[in-house]
Homo-oligomer: A and B are copies of this chain.
């Protein structure tokens, strides 16, 4: 559910999109049933095909909406004039808050991206790609500056960004396996993640500026 929760009652098309979002994210595209989406939206199944020609089209529409709500905000923050430390704090904090509320979202994005490569093409428009490049350039400047001040070798900006993303996002992706491996109940896992939100930024900063 990555719907912009506006004030006015949503029209049918939006209600279908909201419903499809929820069902697709929960069951996966292949596992989702048009009937279940119709039920969730409180409309007839045929109406889904009226507004969105096919299941694949509906899936594309949902995917596009998720991408639009996910990517630009983070790109903007990471390209801003915030300090490196603040960026790390905000990145970790933003994703922890967000993904805690939507635990199915990331596994959904991962699995559909792996299985339906065409969906990924819509993730980055040329402008967004340009913004991503700019973000990395900005990050590189900051990392180099810090490294120079500390007289240590700088790490690659791309590598650092993926390390940041990976260490932050992986628990949301692999939650069931982690719970099993570490023997964490639901409550304990939540405690683990809360602690992680507080401690991970310090760990990453330390690697960057020893």
A174 to B176, CA, bound (A): 17
Known: A28-B111, A166-B171. 8 other contacts (CB 8 A): A107-B115, A110-B174, A120-B176, A124-B181, A155-B199, A159-B200, A160-B203, A166-B167
| Interface secondary structure of A, over-half rule | helix
A183 to B132, CA, bound (A): 9
Contact A114 B158 (CB under 8 A): no
Report B-chain residues with C-beta under 8 Å of the C-beta of A166: 166-171, 174
Report B-chain residues with C-beta under 8 Å of the C-beta of A13: none
Contact A113 B207 (CB under 8 A): no
Interface residue? A44 (CB, 8 A):
no
A199 to B158, CA, bound (A): 12
A-B contact pairs, 11 of them (CB 8 A): A28-B30, A30-B31, A120-B177, A132-B183, A156-B195, A159-B199, A160-B203, A162-B170, A166-B169, A166-B171, A207-B207
Across the interface, A110 reaches (CB within 8 A) one of B110, B120, B132, B163, namely B110
Task: Write the residues of chain A forming the contact surface with B, with a CB cutoff of 8 angstroms.
Answer: 27-28, 30-31, 71, 104, 107-111, 113-115, 117, 120-121, 123-124, 129, 132-133, 136, 155-156, 158-160, 162-163, 165-171, 173-178, 180-183, 192, 195-196, 199-200, 203-204, 206-207, 210
**Which residue of chain B has the shortest Cβ distance to A74 in the bound complex?**
B181
A204 to chain B, nearest CB (A): 7
Contact B109 A177 (CB under 8 A): yes
**Which residue of chain B has the shortest Cβ distance to A182 in the bound complex?**
B158
Report B-chain residues with C-beta under 8 Å of the C-beta of A203: 155, 159-160, 163, 207
Given contacts A166-B168, A183-B132, contact A158 B113 (CB under 8 A): no
